[in-house]
Structure 1
Amino acid sequence: MDYTATLLSNGIIVFIGGRETNDFLDVDINQLVLYDTTIDKWSSMTARGVILENRNGHSAILTPDERIIIFGGCKGYNETILNQLAVLNTKTYPYEWSIPQVSALNSAPPSIQLHSATLIENYMFINFGRNYQMQNSDLQKPFFYILDIRNFTWVIQFEPEQSPVTTNSVTPIATVSIINTSSTNTSNLTAEKSGQIGIILGAVGLSVVIITVAGFLGYKFYKKQKYNRAIPTAGQIQT
C-alpha cells in the first residue's frame, strides 16, 4: 500500500516504495518491482546509485526523457525523510537513483505525504496532501507548489511554452495566396469571356453596317435606273 506505479514507454510498470499490508513495514525502495505489460511478467531489480531512504505516501511523475521523479512521503508512520526529492534514471540498467541539487528551498512544500503530483510541460505541480509534522492536520488551503524539472528549482509562477509565431502565420499566408490565385483566375476567365463577347458584338455590328450601306447603295442604283427609263431620248422625240 501507499506505493507509486509508473508506466514507462516500453510497457514496463515500475512500482516504488510503499508499505506491506500485513505488518505495515516499509518496502525496500531500492528493490524495485517491475511488471512488463507486453509479456505479462513480474520481475525485480536492485537499483544502483545512492541508497535511498524507504518511504510511503509519496508521489511520482515520469519525465519526457524517461526519468521518474518522486517527492515527499514519510518513513514508517510519521518519520521525516531527509531527501524529499529523488530521481530514478530508467535509461540505464539497472536503474539508478540520484538526489538532485534543489534551488529556491524557500518556495518548496513542507514535508507532506498522500499528496498528488502532476507534470505539465517542464513543471511538476504538487497539490494537497497531509503535513505529518502537524498532528491531525491536512493542508486545508488550496496551496500548490511548482518545481521546474529542468533545473530542479522551486518557482512561484508557471510559464507555459508559447507556440511559434511561424506556425500561426503559415495558414493565413497560404489561404491568402489561394484566394488571390483564385481571384486572378476568375478575372482572367472574365476578361477572356468579355473579349469573346466583344468580338462577337463587333462582328455583328460590322455586318449590320455593311448590310445597311449595301442596301442604301442598291436603293440609290434602283432609283437611278427607274429615272433613266422614264425620260425619253432625243431620237424618240423626233419620231
Structure 2
Amino acid sequence: MQPGGELGGYLIEAVEREDASVAVLRAHEPHDGRTVTLHVAGEPPGALATVRFLERAHRLGTVEHPNLLGVYDICTLDGRAVAVAEAPSGTRLDELLSRGPMSQTPSVKLARQVASAVDALEEAGAAPPPLTPERIWVDAGGDAHLDGLDAHLGVTPPAASSSASIARLLASMTRDPCDDLELVITRAVEGAYLSAGQLAEELQRVEATRARHRRDTVLTITLCATLVLIIVLLVTLT
C-alpha cells in the first residue's frame, strides 16, 4: 500500500497517515474518475476491532454535515476491510499551524465548524475522533472539514469531553485571544458546556459581540472625525 500501487482497483496516490489500527490512503477511482480516501483496517475483517470500526463507518455514512468528510462505501478490497470516504481539499490544519498561530476570527470560525460537526456525530451516536490538527482540513475558503473515521475508537473512546478537546485545540491555534474568548476556553476545559453544540453557540456569541464592538469603535471614530471637520470649517468661515 504505497504511492503508485493499487488496492482493489483503486490507484494509490499518497499515504495520509498510518498506524497499527488503520492506514489512510488518498486514491484515484478509475471508473468514476474521482479522488477518495481509503481507510484500511489494520486487522483482518473478522477481528473485533475491525467489526467495530466498520460499524462506526456505517453510522458515519448516515451523517451529512458540511464540515464532516462523508463516507461513500464500506467494502472488502483484496481481503482488507475498507471504508471509502470523501477526499479532503485544501491544507491540513497541522501544516497551517506550522507557520504559527492564527488571528482570532479565522481560528474561532474553524473551531465553531468543528464543534458543529462533532455535535452532528454525537447526535448520530458516534463518538468523535481525536480532535487533533492532523484530522482537520482547511479549504481555500477557510472552512474546516473533519475526518470523522478513526479505528482507535472501535476499541477505546476518547477520555476528554469533546468541548474540552475543541477548546484546547482553539487555544493552541489562536494568537492573542480576547478576554471573552479566553473565558470561554477556560470554562469549556473545566466542563461547563454539556455538548459541542453549546460550545459552538457560545463561540458564535463571542464573535458577534466582538464584531459589534468593532463596528461601534469605527462609528465613534467616524463621528469624532466628522465633528472635528465641522469645527475646523466653522473656524475657517469665521
TM-score scaled by length of structure 2? 0.28
Question: Whose helix proportion is higher, 1 or 2?
Answer: 2
In the superposition, the TM-score normalised over structure 1's length comes to 0.28
| Larger RCO (alpha carbons 8 Å, 6+ apart) | 2
Between Structure 1 and Structure 2, which shows a larger proportion of strand residues? 1
